[in-house]
Structures are given as C-alpha cells and as structure tokens.
Amino acid sequence: MLDPFLLLDDFHSDDPDDYIRGFPWHPHRGIETITYVLYGKVEHGDSMGNKGTISSGDVQWMTAGSGIIHQEMPKGQKDGLMWGFQLWANLPASHKMMDPRYRDVKSIQIPEVTLDHGVKVKIICGEVNPVRNSSRCDSKPSGALNPALRGGTPYGAEPGIILKSNPAAAAGPGSAPASGSESPPARREGLLPRREQRGIISNGVKGVKGPVQDIVIDPEYLDITVPSKSNFTHPVKRGHTVLAYVIEGAGYFDPGRDTYAYEVEGTNYFDFKRDCFMSSETLILFDEGDEVVISTEEKPVRFLLISGKPIGEPVAWYGPIVMNTQEELRIAFEEYQNGTFIKYKAK
C-alpha cells in the first residue's frame, strides 16, 4: 500500500532508558534507510569505514544495496529528549545488489525556503515550486477511495487513508512501527522551535532542490510548517505514492473536508470521533492526483511530506533485510552467518 516505502518510525522520548541501548552492529541489504533528527544526536559507524554523528536538523541517507553492517546509537539532549524519524525505502530488484553508499547531510546544507503565507519548507530531497508547464490543467478535488480500490478521478490528490497512531516510546532508529501501545511518551506542547534560519529564504522562490539527489525511487522528502489561517499547495507526480505525517499542530489535508471520503483507522476500538482535522502522529496517504492542498485554522501545522515512485515487485522481508524472494533472504542470512555478506570493501 505504501510502495516503495516499508516503514516510518517516529522515535521520541524524554527518558534515556527508552533509547540509550540503541542499535549495535547489524546488517541491511536491499533497502535505503533515511534518518532525520529533530532533537538529540545519533552516532553512526559502518563496514565501509564511515563514522560520524548526526545532530538536530541533520539527515543520514544510507543505501544498503548489496549489504552493509552498521550501528546507530542515539544520544539525547541534556534534558534527555531524543526525537527523530527513520524511513525505510525499498530498492527494485535491479538495484538491490548495488554498491552501498552513505550520505551525511548537515542541517546547514538543507535549504529552507519561505513561501507565500509564511509557509516554511526544509527541502531534504525533491524540489519546491518547480517551473510548471503552463498548459497543465488545474487540479480539482476528488473523492478519495479506499486504497484497496485505489484509482479515483483524474484531478486533485486527497487522502485515501488516515492512520492515527498512539505509539509508545520507541527504542530508537530502526525500530518496528508501534501498534496497540499503551501510552505515548512525553511530548512538548506546540510546534517544535524552528532552528536558526539557514540556506535560502525567499518569497516567490522557484525551483529550489534539496541536497539528496540521484535516488532510484525518485523520492521527495520535505519538512513543512504552515502558519495558522494559511494554506499550502504543492505539485506531486502522478503514479507516485504520496504521504504526509503530522509532527505538531493540526490542519486539513482534505480540501473537501469530508470525513467519509476516505478510510480512517482509529486509535482503538472505542474511537467514535471522526474528524478531518488532522493532528500530531497522524499518517495521511493521498490518492492519485496532481497536487496536495493543506490548510490551517487557529493552529499552525508541521508535517513531513514524502513521496516516491512505486516499485511494484514482490517483497520478501525479514528483520533488516528486504529482498524479492524467500530464497534471496535465505542466501543473505547464510552469507551473514558465514562472513561473506559484505560484497563492497572499504577503500
């Protein structure tokens, strides 16, 4: 349903006991892992000889490809807060055994633009305000469908499914998505303080691209803040999977504001309230369309907007390794056990 994406982990806690054990040395093959830190630090080391620390606002884009062994060790702030996201993106069969690579992107390298209505966008991957063909038809809102019946009308992208989460404190980057958890960890009220302005800031800016490029699934990864009583429109590519994850605040992700135009998964069996006003820890999967439209009322909203080209291939997934067949999985784990897992040697 989320092809090419496999997992989005929102890891955050004020208690170091929840994350300090981290993720000691472990393998990956067949995927890319993208770690984005809001607060705290994550120390990284891998079999290619890469070592480093990503801090608040930094991104680690790691392509496991044919195989990499690494560790990720979270370190919270002085007050104990550790908060970030890890996204797993699949690789097609043609690239699952590509050479691994590691990109450490510092916050100062990530452009942040200010658009109309005071909307602020951090561009990790993708492009904001691309020059558009003047002959393109304007988008129109359409009724969204259950993803099982995905198709819809040929215009605007509206939510196809809403997932409202209530995760317990995650152990750190790479943990499995939580479900049926008892209670969320301590959170800070209001929007996260925005880091000091860096990069490009300009109203009416055109064609600003993020530092991460040349990725197989042609992804987009944006961190967007829409002020109160404002709106934001962003073009998306037809045929791509498009999702949004609300970090803080609340907003409308459905221009029609029809709570029954899409499927909603509640937080528990007795969740009877259905609201198209999306708040924190909500994942929105958009239906087919040319653009997404987000609007706010009294509160601002901060969210991740992520998209990518679906692969459309079989998925054989066990733990940190994702291949196309069970036989490929068997080979991968056998190679890990007998010491022949790493194909690319550090130079």
Coil, strand, or helix at residue 331? Answer: helix
Higher pLDDT, 102 or 153: 102
- The string of pLDDT tens digits covering residues 134-163 is 333 333 223 232 222 222 322 346 665 556
What are the distances in angstroms from CA 232 to CA 106, 193, 228, 255, 296?
26, 20, 11, 11, 9
Q: What is the pLDDT of residue 269?
A: 66
Q: What is the pLDDT of residue 268?
A: 67
CA–CA separation, 22 vs 292, rounded Å? 36
Tokens of 211: 């530092």
User: Among 29-38, 68-77, 97-106, 153-162, which is the least confidently predicted range?
Assistant: 153-162
* 212, β-bridge pairs: 125
The pTM of the full predicted model, rounded to 2 decimals, is 0.81
Local confidence band at 96 (pLDDT 50, 70, 90 cut-offs): very high
Q: Are 142 and 156 in contact (CB under 8 A)?
A: yes
320 pLDDT exceeds 90? yes
Q: Judge whether 192 lies within some domain.
A: no
Local confidence band at 74 (pLDDT 50, 70, 90 cut-offs): very high
Q: What is the pLDDT of residue 335?
A: 97
Q: Judge whether 191 lies within some domain.
A: no
Q: Judge whether 347 lies within some domain.
A: no
**Length of the chain measured in residues:** 347
Q: How many CB atoms lie within 10 A of CB 179?
A: 11
**Average pLDDT of span 158-176:** 46
End-to-end CA distance of the chain: 39
288 Cβ neighbours under 8 A, 6+ residues apart:
150, 151, 152, 154, 157, 238, 239
User: Among 65-74, 85-94, 140-149, 230-239, which is the least confidently predicted range?
Assistant: 140-149
171 pLDDT exceeds 50? no
For a pLDDT cut of 90, what percent of the chain falls above it? 67
Q: What is the pLDDT of residue 147?
A: 29
Q: What is the pLDDT of residue 28?
A: 98
Report which DSSP code applies to 212: B
The count of structural domains within the chain is 1
Q: Are 155 and 140 in contact (CB under 8 A)?
A: yes
* 233, β-bridge pairs: 293
Q: Judge whether 346 lies within some domain.
A: no
CA–CA separation, 209 vs 205, rounded Å? 11
Q: Judge whether 345 lies within some domain.
A: no
170 pLDDT exceeds 80? no
CA–CA separation, 4 vs 310, rounded Å? 5
Q: Judge whether 255 lies within some domain.
A: yes
Q: What is the pLDDT of residue 263?
A: 76
User: Among 126-140, 154-168, 328-342, which is the least confidently predicted range?
Assistant: 154-168
Mean pLDDT of the chain: 81
Q: What is the pLDDT of residue 178?
A: 34
294: containing domain:
5-185+197-338
Higher pLDDT, 14 or 166: 14
- The string of pLDDT tens digits covering residues 5-48 is 999 999 999 999 999 999 999 999 999 999 999 999 999 999 99
Q: How many CB atoms lie within 10 A of CB 76?
A: 20
Q: Are 346 and 70 in contact (CB under 8 A)?
A: no
CA–CA separation, 34 vs 51, rounded Å? 16
Q: What is the pLDDT of residue 184?
A: 33
193 pLDDT exceeds 60? no
**Among positive and negative, which fits the CA dihedral 273, 278, 282, 287?**
positive
Q: Judge whether 343 lies within some domain.
A: no
Q: Judge whether 318 lies within some domain.
A: yes
CA–CA separation, 75 vs 18, rounded Å? 11
The domain that contains 150 carries what CATH number?
Answer: 2.60.120.10
